[in-house]
Structure 1
Amino acid sequence: MRSDFADAVPSHCEELVSCLARHYAETWMRVARELEKRAAAQGKEQEQETGFSAL
């Protein structure tokens, strides 16, 4: 199954766009991991302060 995005890429650009997509996907994964770490740390801080765990 192809997406509309993939269908819109000209065949002569497929390799370049594929590399760019993978690069940006890796970057967004790093951003997501960092945000998850921050959220977990904030949840632990709130739990220590209040005695209740965050949902």
Structure 2
Amino acid sequence: MWCEKMTYAGCEYSPVGNIIGASIYEIGEPCSKCDCKGCTCDKEDGLCVKP
């Protein structure tokens, strides 16, 4: 939306996330829930990396 002195922008993500009061991370071993074929674990960031 554009207004005279400012612009508003928004993003719609799927699946839904960023719910007020909900946890944004799960406690556990990094990459322990990677389930995609060929994914590797970025140990520094603790994230699954798709091939």
Q: Shorter-normalised TM-score: what interval?
A: under 0.3
Q: Which one has the bigger strand percentage? A: 2
- More relative contact order in 1 or in 2 (CA 8 Å, sep 6+)? 2
TM-score, normalising length: structure 1 = 0.21
